[in-house]
Structure 1
Amino acid sequence: MMIKTRQIVWPLAALVAALASTAVSAAPRPELTEPHLDILPRTQAETARVAKVTAAPTDFTAAEPFEARPAGAATVRARNDSNAFSQPSANISFERELQFKVGNGLFRKLWVSSPSSTLGSDGLGPIYNARSCQRCHLKDGRGHPPNGPKDEAVSMFLRISVPVAPDTELSEIETYLQGLGDDTPRTRPDPVYGGQMQDFGVAGHPAEYRFDVTYAEIEVPLSDGEVASLRAPTYRAADLGYGPLADGAMLSPRVAPHMLGLGLLEAIPVSDILASADPDDADGDGISGKAQIVWSDEYGQPMLGRFGWKAGAPTVKHQSAAAFAGDIGISSPLFAAPAGDCTQAQSDCLAGPHGDGDDRITEIDAEGLDLVTFYSRNLAVPARRDESDPEVLRGKEQFFAAGCAACHTPKFVTHRLADQPEQSFQLIGPHTDLLLHDMGEGLADNRPEGRANGREWRTAPLWGIGMTETVSGHNYLLHDGRARSLLEAILWHGGEAQAARDTVVDMPKPDRDALIRYLESL
């Protein structure tokens, strides 16, 4: 069969040249470099090998070499229990595994409010969404939306922002993006509620809101007489604790994603990611992936965004520190505000108890943040299951024929790294291009974030998706958990993915079932 592959239209050299020629100020524009990685350059022979092993398959009668190990040498045996996502990289050394376990302890640690006798664990809040990282990323897997008003296992919140007035002074990153010709509407955190809404508060501090969601069922007819049912959500910030939302406030729900393979995603060469970007759809295939570019507080420069539902974080450390600040109200060397997401309008929150200023300086110190980052980088990807099964192979063929691989890029090879042996030069199968794509009105949150407009989302990695229920006890998928199955998640695809979605709707039921089996094997 004929498989269409994406044209490479935006290599790194072209991007750098474009940035260098953009004159929004007298200062030269910085390149999208990778200061978080200690890179050993590839040889010409290695580059040729990489191109060969990452090429699209043409034979679907057998599994490809190494396909069973989606994280390369870091792949672990697939377990059949809820700890399947909590294993360290298979190629980790004994000494570094100890670091992983200490980081796991910090990831699971319950933070308490200040003042407290447990000086290493105080500083919670004053307002927060969870008391630990693990409370959102349950068993290092996905969170889920509420199943009822007293569901205590919810790991979901609302991001919030407001439009920027035309005469508002632009930030450094906004000026940078404007220089690239980016016209995505700019936003700011809500003047009262900040960048995300917290549904808990320590004693004496009210929560900001109560998360409220209702669903309406939508029937979708499929081929061969099959009918699927989707649930369309309506979200509301109820019982507001600090007054009304600002005019024009935009809310966007977020469910915690699983934590698999983050260090490997971080180690994919930026040039390989940008090679698939085609923001103007120059090749006319209907797919116009766009790179997210964000400001790195860690390195003080623009970087490629890789993590989060809209790729708003450039590194695992940045993502971890932002979650400590926004979700738990814990300060760190990267985000040192002791009151987390509290705003100037929340004076009692700013004046509330906090745990910094002792020997740690911030509530989690540099060593602790590094350990959590190391743990997050090394949460291992389980081995594929049934990758040689004939039905799985048939589903793989349908995956490519439907065009799913145009965004869910199956394979990359990571950088050679001097100090990260677990992630160094691994052939990986994350099934993502880490780019932003228009997913249509059905999934739109109508809230811009960086270069992502209100209809754009980062392509979610698919590795481990077939083990969601094993780890998390549910199959709630997408950014807000609305999809209750893989099929429902596919049927919500629109925009650039509309053609692929319609192909799945129209294909014979046996082929559609085989496609789902392939996804379950990832």
Structure 2
Amino acid sequence: MKAALRTSALLLSAAGAAAALHAEITTDALGELPGGATTVHVDGRNAFSLPAANLSEAERSRFVIGNSFFRRNWVEAPASTRARDGLGPHFIARSCGGCHVQDGRGAPPDFRRGLHEPPVALLMRLSVPGTVEHGEPKPEPVYGGQLNNAAVQGVRPEGQVVIRHEPVHGRFADGTPYRLEKPVYAISALGYGPMAPDTMVSPRIAPQLIGVGLLEAIPAAEIERNAREQQAAGGAIRGMPNRVWDAFAEREMIGRFGWKANVASIAHQTAGAFLGDMGITSSRFPHEACTQAQADCRSAPRGAKGQAPEIDDATFDHVVFYQATLAPPARRQPRDAQVIKGQRLFTQAQCAACHRPSYVTAEGPFPRLTSSALVGQTIWPYTDLLLHDMGDDLADHRPDFLANGRQWKTPPLWGIGRIKEVNGHDRLLHDGRARGVLEAVLWHGGEAQAAKDRVLRMSRDERDALARFVESL
């Protein structure tokens, strides 16, 4: 793991000898440029939507093409255009940007406002006990691997998500009370009859997309090294990589994407989302996700006149390239006294044990789908990309490849303070239950219980400084 670097005299922080193993003195010791030379300097609603700063002009043109197909809606077949038809038969969103608005993070629907707001950015994974061909979860036999709450004409939606909240009360050591809200999920209006009685359901919110190409370019050896050193340290923190099947590499790889690191590459993630979330087939996933019980789904019209995958390879490649080259924005106020104090507290609380600050990138698995401009960059994502047991309160009780029902991947922290200006909310964690950084910490348990306990003992000023540091990233 890497400890954060102190701002005064560029000294290694006092996180201990194990943390010092990865510490590096660089020309960007504060991580002011989270994406290295790819970093962009931007504020406001478009902070997550700019291309890497060091792309060539030809690559910027490719970025623009991918952006167009990422943001614009797909339409039902048959349609006058073959370039964007084929939506559904079942779907959640009409475009990639429908879930990742402004390339940012989704939020759960707020049913407390008295509105029935379909969860566009909140995906409900479904499975039953067991695995299939490559070790992935076994889909629910009637509804498949996820619940789709929308459908084209003549096809029934699969169901609707209902969310209620239970209060969770607690106090900090200084007596300050806090109140969390635990979401409780149910599925109603099932379109094809009951689900299997042993169905496991897991909510997943759409994350922001900045820097995903840089995460893909972190050497696998560094992720494995994180796991070895956490094991050797002998403490409660013992992360492990997920190992998953990648349809593009056609082999097992270390998982990096998804809340359980259940996807290894941007290409696989994108093709899976096109099919699962929009019903758009591709050359790697050419068959609609209709189960045997869904006759109306299986008989619905197909896009591209049913003669080819609904998104062609060239267009698909542009969409992958677009995501891979989305740039992290520069840090804000890294030299502020409160931010520096928060960085010290972040290290002291052992947050950096899982949220490893920095890496140097290598070449990604599919060079034609990304840019060489991402190679050799010192980046500051604050993640170890490992699975960790996060305790009962966050458990979904649903395995995913090697991940068990209590494990979640350490999410990167870069850009976290800009979510509110990009997306108008500050909802965090895998299902958006946390309202801000401090609530996210208070939901930690399992391997992170000791870190949470340290935060519970902090004064109000220290808690504010800790949150301010994380939001500066």
Does TM, scored on the shorter chain, surpass 0.5?
Answer: yes
Identity level (%)? 46
Give the equivalent residue in structure 2 for 1:375: 322
Deviation at 1:511, TM superposition (A): 1.4
Q: Distance in 1 between matches of 2:462 and 2:80?
A: 60
SS of alignment partner, residue 96 of structure 2: coil
Judge conservation of contact 2:429–2:440 (CA < 8 Å) in 1.
yes
Q: Please, which runs of 5 or more residues in structure 1 have no aligned partner?
A: 8-50, 58-62, 165-169, 175-185
Q: Which amino acid letter does the alignment assign opposite residue 141 of structure 2?
A: P
SS of alignment partner, residue 225 of structure 1: coil
Give the equivalent residue in structure 2 for 1:117: 80
Greater shift, 236-245 or 417-426, is seen at 417-426
Give the equivalent residue in structure 2 for 1:450: 401
Q: Distance in 1 between matches of 2:312 and 2:204?
A: 27
Give the equivalent residue in structure 2 for 1:97: 60
Matched, 1:350 2:318: no
Measured against aligned partners, the alpha-carbon deviations of 1:29-75 in whole angstroms (never above 9, x if no partner) come to xxxxxxxxxxxxxxxxxxxxxx98x5178xxxxx9536210100000
Matched, 1:396 2:360: no
Q: How many residues in Structure 1 have an aligned counterpart in Structure 2?
A: 454
Judge conservation of contact 2:242–2:387 (CA < 8 Å) in 1.
yes
Deviation at 1:155, TM superposition (A): 1.3
Give the equivalent residue in structure 1 for 2:177: 227
Measured against aligned partners, the alpha-carbon deviations of 1:210-260 in whole angstroms (never above 9, x if no partner) come to 111000121220132222210011001111111001020000111100001
Q: How does 1:108-187 map to 2 (within 5 A)?
A: 108-148=71-111, 149-151=115-117, 154-164=120-130, 171=132, 173-174=134-135, 187=137
Give the equivalent residue in structure 1 for 2:332: 385
Measured against aligned partners, the alpha-carbon deviations of 1:341-360 in whole angstroms (never above 9, x if no partner) come to 2212212211211114567x
Q: Distance in 2 between matches of 1:135 and 1:308?
A: 17
Give the equivalent residue in structure 2 for 1:3: 15
Judge conservation of contact 1:279–1:290 (CA < 8 Å) in 2.
no
Q: Distance in 2 between matches of 1:446 and 1:200?
A: 26
Q: How does 1:239-250 map to 2 (within 5 A)?
A: 239-250=189-200
Deviation at 1:154, TM superposition (A): 4.1
Measured against aligned partners, the alpha-carbon deviations of 1:88-107 in whole angstroms (never above 9, x if no partner) come to 10111111101001100000
SS of alignment partner, residue 501 of structure 1: helix
Q: Distance in 2 between matches of 1:407 and 1:104?
A: 32
Q: Distance in 1 between matches of 2:65 and 2:231?
A: 46
Give the equivalent residue in structure 1 for 2:410: 459
Give the equivalent residue in structure 2 for 1:29: none
Judge conservation of contact 2:92–2:120 (CA < 8 Å) in 1.
no
Q: Distance in 1 between matches of 2:159 and 2:316?
A: 29
* Distance change (3 Å), C-alpha of 1:351 and 1:384: same
Judge conservation of contact 1:6–1:276 (CA < 8 Å) in 2.
no
Give the equivalent residue in structure 2 for 1:363: 310
Judge conservation of contact 1:194–1:343 (CA < 8 Å) in 2.
yes
Deviation at 1:513, TM superposition (A): 1.1
Judge conservation of contact 2:82–2:304 (CA < 8 Å) in 1.
no
**TM-score normalised according to structure 1 size:** 0.83
* Distance change (3 Å), C-alpha of 1:216 and 1:121: same
Q: Distance in 1 between matches of 2:338 and 2:233?
A: 32
- Let me know the Cα RMSD of the aligned residues: 2.1
Judge conservation of contact 1:6–1:406 (CA < 8 Å) in 2.
no
Measured against aligned partners, the alpha-carbon deviations of 1:117-153 in whole angstroms (never above 9, x if no partner) come to 1221111100100000000001110111011233367
Q: Distance in 1 between matches of 2:362 and 2:149?
A: 40
Judge conservation of contact 2:75–2:87 (CA < 8 Å) in 1.
yes
Deviation at 1:486, TM superposition (A): 0.8
* Distance change (3 Å), C-alpha of 1:172 and 1:4: farther
SS of alignment partner, residue 319 of structure 1: helix
Give the equivalent residue in structure 2 for 1:25: none
SS of alignment partner, residue 396 of structure 1: helix
* Distance change (3 Å), C-alpha of 1:280 and 1:273: closer
Q: How does 1:35-434 map to 2 (within 5 A)?
A: 54-55=22-23, 65=29, 67-79=31-43, 81-148=44-111, 149-151=115-117, 154-164=120-130, 171=132, 173-174=134-135, 187-278=137-228, 281-337=231-287, 339=288, 341-356=289-304, 361-415=308-362, 420-434=371-385
Matched, 1:493 2:461: no
Q: Please, which runs of 5 or more residues in structure 2 have no aligned partner?
A: 1-12
Q: How does 1:16-27 map to 2 (within 5 A)?
A: none
Selected match of 1:504 from 441, 455, 463: 455
Judge conservation of contact 1:66–1:72 (CA < 8 Å) in 2.
no
Q: Distance in 2 between matches of 1:75 and 1:280?
A: 30
Measured against aligned partners, the alpha-carbon deviations of 1:151-202 in whole angstroms (never above 9, x if no partner) come to 36741121100012xxxxx65533xxxxxxxxxxx74100010000000011
* Distance change (3 Å), C-alpha of 1:111 and 1:242: same
Segments ≥4 residues shifted beyond 2 Å: 4-7, 63-66, 148-154, 170-174, 278-283, 356-359, 416-422
SS of alignment partner, residue 230 of structure 1: strand
* Distance change (3 Å), C-alpha of 1:153 and 1:312: closer
Give the equivalent residue in structure 2 for 1:47: none
